[in-house]
A and B are shown apart, each in its own frame.
Chain A
Amino acid sequence: MTRYLLGRVALALLVALAVSALAFLVLRLSGDVALAIAGEGASEADLQLIRASYGLDRPLPVQYLAWLWQTLRGDFGSSLYFKVPVSELVLQKLPTTMLLGLSALCFGLLLAVPLGVAAALWRDSWVDRLAMGITVVAQALPTFFVALVLIMVFAVWARWLPVSGSGSWLHFVMPTIALGYYVMPPFMRLIRSNMIEVLSADYVRTARAKGLPTAAVVLRHALRNAIVPVVGLAAVQLGFLLGGSVVIESVFALDGLGYLAFRSISYKDFPVLQTIVLLLSLLYVALTTLSDIANVWLDPRLRSA
């Protein structure tokens, strides 16, 4: 088990390194950084000056290493627009995005588990069809559209919730729903197929042979085994949620990393963008590593091996 852990972590670090290189490459190559910093209409002399001061005239590998070295020392540069250290900015906005991601995940699971279990228990019945129908529709609606509809219904007509901003927990309700419903389908399908498989397992038959009540059989015996892969998937989905929060945060003007990234794109604020991309990638690597570890740890057969 410890060997597996070490190996997995080592792999994660390697991937993180590769991702940082990729992210760096993508950003540097997708356009002239100096031009973006200087803005349109800058003279060639200005551009040269900028290139020199930012070290943009050095060969790429050197730039990357310099940046890497800087980053490892905790220096993420300064925001071109906000004129504050990037690390400060990012740390300020990170909790909001994490909160949004986690609550969206919980919301998605809260919907997915009952739907998946019900669909599996009454397989091929109208319950199953209805659950699958809801799932398929949820997968098809664009998140920003649902977000706007929610705003219309809850903020404008009913006036229960604020339209946008991020002052109180109320501001998180609609973003959570808008982000959460979209993450429900993969979970629901996984739970449904796992439950179907588990419900026909021998040990479920043994549990029924012992005369246990149906609830105990379903929850204690079946769901317990079916839910294991969900944990792994949850970690992965959380990664996607963090990355995909850009759209939702922008719609609701929720002051998190996604919204910051969106604004930084318009301001062409490189240091911020670079750091955000790096951070999200690292988070994702960490989450997938955790997910793999969780999968192994939760199966008693593999744990004691």
Chain B
Amino acid sequence: MSQPSEQRAPALEVRHLSVDIASSHGDVHAVRDVSFRVERGQTLCIVGESGCGKSMTSLAVMDLLPAAARRRAEVLRVGEHDLARADRRTVNALRGERMAMIFQEPMTALNPSLTIGAQMVEAHRHHRGSSAAQARERAVHLLERVGIASAAQRLGQYPHQLSGGLRQRVMIAMALMCEPDVLIADEPTTALDVTIQAQILRLLMDLQRETGVAIVLVTHDLGVVARVAHKVAVMYAGRIVEEGPTAEVFGRPRHPYTRGLLGCIPVPGRVAPGGHLGIIRGTVPALVGELRGCTFRERCDAARPTCAHDDPPRRSGAAGHAWSCILEEEEAVS
């Protein structure tokens, strides 16, 4: 789904982002040389298993990393604002205003001792200097927009008085208070029931159509990716191993890891009763110390001797589809 907005500056551009976390065993390279861009009105899904660094990436963009983590990036831009070398005040001014984030657990992500209303209006009042009444009005409007009935009453309630789905809607409404250009969602539906998941995703898509906000959605659920993503980036061991338009990547997966992931999805009829479900053998390696070659090689059926010391070359296919693997295009398709 190519957009004519390729000529305009992307809503979010990240180039060569790395995050190292200090630990007693040495530096853990949680995110290694990650680059991506998201255009206005587009949704990019970063997908991968637990520990692949996708959450760290989203936190790194928002500068919400834990104290022991260090971030490096060549380019980290939201619209025209350069975040890579910005000082604390600039970053704070942009957070909540140009870029917003919603988290996985709406119960713990909301302050239990403040009302919904209080939490919703504070960012707006701080960034836009609005009056209490103005901010309230906007809050009510947004709560209604995300589908919460009796919005005015909800403002006076506390988070524990709402259900999980409602809380997540509140989080979304709260994130949109200042009309951000970029919305980063870290596993927003993982903690919710399946039916509620669908509603929330649909809500996000509607809001995107209306406001043109760019969404970066981090998830481990391929179903979510299929449903909402224009582009997908597959992360493994801190690196993006494959990326491109969703249809392309899902239809013609090139990297062995992507193929493995897609093969893990149980499809009724594909495997005969009594047969084996797809797995990827092995485990994710520890990302400490010097890492050479392809980190997937231990679990890859098609691994070659060169994979142990040479970084896999970057290959590209149709419509911006790219992946890092030594296998030639023909070899990859099997």
A: residues with CB less than 8 A from B are 201-203, 205-213, 216, 220-221, 224-225, 228, 299-301, 304
Contacts and interface: CB of A to CB of B under 8 A. Distances in A.
B318 interface: no
B113 A224 contact: yes
B109 A205 contact: yes
Contact of B126 (A201, A203, A213): A213
A300 B113 contact: yes
A207 B171 CA distance: 12
Contacts, number: 76
Given A202-B105, A205-B103, A212 B123 contact: yes
Contacts of B161: 304
Nearest to A222: B111
Given A205-B103, A300-B158, A211 B92 contact: yes
**Taking each of B105, B109, B161, which has the highest tally of chain A beta carbons within 10 Å of its own beta carbon?**
B109
Interface stretch (B93-101, B142-150, B199-207, B287-295): B93-101
Contacts of A301: 112, 158, 160
B113 A211 contact: no
Contacts of A202: 103, 105, 108-109
B113 A210 contact: no
B127 interface: yes
Contacts of A225: 111-113
26 contacts: A202-B108, A202-B109, A206-B103, A206-B110, A206-B111, A206-B171, A208-B64, A208-B95, A209-B96, A209-B100, A210-B123, A210-B174, A211-B126, A212-B123, A216-B122, A220-B114, A220-B122, A221-B111, A225-B111, A225-B112, A299-B113, A300-B112, A300-B113, A301-B112, A301-B158, A301-B160
Contacts of A212: 92, 96, 122-123, 126
A253 to B, nearest CB: 45
A285 to B, nearest CB: 28
A259 to B, nearest CB: 42
B94 A211 contact: yes
